[in-house]
Amino acid sequence: MTSFLGASDFGDDTPIRVLHVDDDPARVRLSEALLTNHLADAVVHTETDPTAALASLDDGRAVDCVVSDFDMGETNGLDFLETVRDRFPRLPFILFTGKGSEEIASEAISAGVTDYLQKGGGADQYAVLANRIENVVGRYRAERAATEYQERMRNVYERVRDAFFALDAEWRFTYLNERAERLLSRTEEELLGEVVWEEFPDALNSQFEDEYREAMETQEPTMFEAHYPPLDKLFKVHAYPSEEGLSVYFRDVTEANEMRKEHHREKELLERVFETSPVGILVIDSEGEITRANERVVELLEVTEEEITNRTYDSSQWTTTDEEGNPFADGENPLLEVFEEGTTIRDVSMGYEGPSGDWRLLSISAAPIRSADGDLERVVVTVDDVTERRNRQQELEQQNERLEEFASVVSHDLRNPLDVAQVRTDLERRERDSEHLEEISLALDRMDALITDLLTLARQGRVVGETKSLDLSDAVRDAWSITGSETATLDVADDLPTIRADESRLRELLENLLDNAVTHAGDDPHVRVEAVRDGFAIGDDGYGIPPEKRDRIFEDGFSTERRGTGFGLSIVKQIADAHEWTLTAGDDELGGARFEVRGVDTAEE
């Protein structure tokens, strides 16, 4: 059931196809002959049985018009019309009958007949019928073509990704697709036939009106972005004028615009970071060509940005070496790994000799940037001058070697005679009791403590080794097992954190602080360790620290006790500084001294 409805499938010169239904065989033969004479290339198919005629239509016979008699036995023309209309509501239907009356004519029109004509008048009446057929088929084909065109256009507009509406020359809406309805929050039913300026008054005296009117006046397409306040949306619009009106394609770019602004801000930020970074930055394309260089890398490499970007990363114009100053052999450039294997490298040492002849040790880090398909697009390289850091490290290593040598000398050359003096003094005190011998013994003990503290300073210095996660509660109890006394009590809070520290240095710090608390807290000292914000505190119930001496207690050699060496708290201060912790002294709620260590990194961080 497609061909007879597909009038637009035929051009203007397509023969008209007529189905004439009349129960008189002689009449249909006459009709076929006469209609063919009056309709050029007409194809007339005749049926004497309405049921057979309907079946031929159902089977898809190509028909542009049905001509039917009224009185056809069991089925009259109006019954046949009703059946045809049920199936094919738009197919032209002419009632051509010899039984005419105003009543039948009125009934036929009410039933939806396309035209009504009586048979009387001889052969000339067939000329009239032919004319009527041409007229109704012409209108039918035109309407069908227009309908199909509109349907095709509607399908096209509905498939368009943008919202779309059409205006006629009077600025009236003639079409909106679904996307336009959603964006404008109005339905096609509400807007069709309405003037755009009346339905959207806020568009008057705006960029929308200016652009639309200029497009219509110049008949030139326009493209613009404009904000429409009532909808709080930014629209990107393409408008195409014609003599008949204006076709407007638009989309909501509010979010895209915000993303564009944010992207611009991020790009500006990255550009500022790139230019002001204290670390040199290079950008290298997938072929190894350097495409960008910031100011810092220009300073480090001692050549202009233009010279840098005219070279590849592995150009022979660079004088590069390993960290010992030996030239790289082929394939040894550390950046080659990034390009060939796509790996990221960090803190790789590379020597570089600039035009000035100065050799520098550079720390190189590099990472590949890939496309969505996984192909290498660029490599970003950071360059830092670590020459002074390496020199300081070497100096520190040399200093530590000298300190170790010194410590060995002190340990051997001072402890041997000190041990002899202590033994001799003990032997003499067994023979007789003397106040002088007591003082000598105390002096020798203090010398032994001084040597121990000096060896600690010499061997540990002011640096921290490898840090790791340590349970502070366990570390406190281990230190207390060495420094505590039988009469002293220790309270350890349950919420002490797990911290990151050099294990041996932390143990030394805790031993000295706990020993200081026990030493200065009387006969039955009470010591407690508790958590504070980003650190911990050790307090006691002793005599406390006089305010006038708090500024000096961390100095080398300062002690409030005659027997003290003055190095215990100095060592604590150096260990805290080496960890980048802060150490302060004050009064504790227990009544004695309180030492707080803050700025401690917890293991969770």
- Which of these ranges, 120-134, 149-163, 570-584, has the smallest mean pLDDT? 149-163
User: Are 93 and 79 a contacting pair, CB within 8 Å?
Assistant: no
528 and 556 inside one domain: yes
Q: 576: buried, middle or exposed (CB in 10 Å: 19+, 13-18, 0-12)? A: buried
- Is 186 a domain residue? yes
Query: Is the pLDDT at 557 greater than 50, yes or no?
Result: no
Task: Between 102 and 117, name the one with better pLDDT.
Answer: 117
Cα gap 292→382, rounded to integer Å: 12
**Predicted pLDDT of residue 154:** 62
Please answer whether residues 99 and 70 qualify as being in contact, where contact means their C-beta atoms are separated by less than 8 angstroms. yes
Q: Flag whether 509 is in a domain.
A: yes
Backbone angles phi, psi at 218, to 5 degrees: -90, -15
Q: What is the pLDDT of residue 464?
A: 66
Nearest to 290 by CA among 353, 375, 379: 379
Pair (11, 133) in one structural domain: yes
Write phi, then psi, for 249 (nearest 5 degrees).
-105, 130
Mean pLDDT of 155-171: 78
**Count of CB atoms situated within 10 Å of the CB of 2:** 8
- Distant-in-sequence, close-in-space partners of 305: CB < 8 Å, separation ≥ 6: 293, 298
82 and 170 housed in the same domain: no
Q: Which domain holds residue 448?
A: 391-460
Tokens of 437: 């011998």
**Based on the domain organization, do 51 and 117 belong to the same domain?**
yes
Helices (H) and strands (E) in the chain, counts: 19, 25
Instruction: Using the 3D structure, point to which of 352, 385, 418 is the last residue of a domain.
Output: 385
In this structure, the answer to whether residues 592 and 489 fall within a common structural domain is yes
Q: Does 588 lie in the same domain as 542?
A: yes
Share of the chain residues as helix, strand and coil, in percent rounded to the nearest 5: 45, 25, 30
Nearest one of 557, 563, 523 to 540, comparing CA atoms:
523
- Predicted confidence (pLDDT) at residue 24 exceeds the cutoff of 60: yes
Do residue 283 and residue 376 come from a single domain? yes
pTM as predicted: 0.41
Q: Name the DSSP class of 326.
A: P
Residue 549 DSSP SS3: helix
In-domain check, residue 261: no
pLDDT at 500 over 50: yes
The three-class DSSP label of residue 283 is strand
The H or E element containing residue 57 is: helix 50-58
**357: Cα separation from own chain's centroid:** 46
* CA distance linking residue 368 with residue 360, whole number of Å: 25
In the chain, the number of structural domains is: 5
Residue 224 and residue 238 in contact, taking contact as beta carbons nearer than 8 Å: no
359, 385, 411 - which closes a domain: 385
Co-location of 282 and 415 in the same domain? no
User: Does residue 582 sit in the same domain as residue 568?
Assistant: yes
Angle ∠(420,424,430) on CA atoms, nearest 5: 150
pLDDT category at 4 given cuts 50, 70, 90 is: very low
Tell me: do 15 and 109 sit in the same domain.
yes
Pairing verdict, β 71-72 and 65-68 = unpaired
DSSP 199: H
Decide if 603 is inside a domain: no
173 in the same domain as 140: no
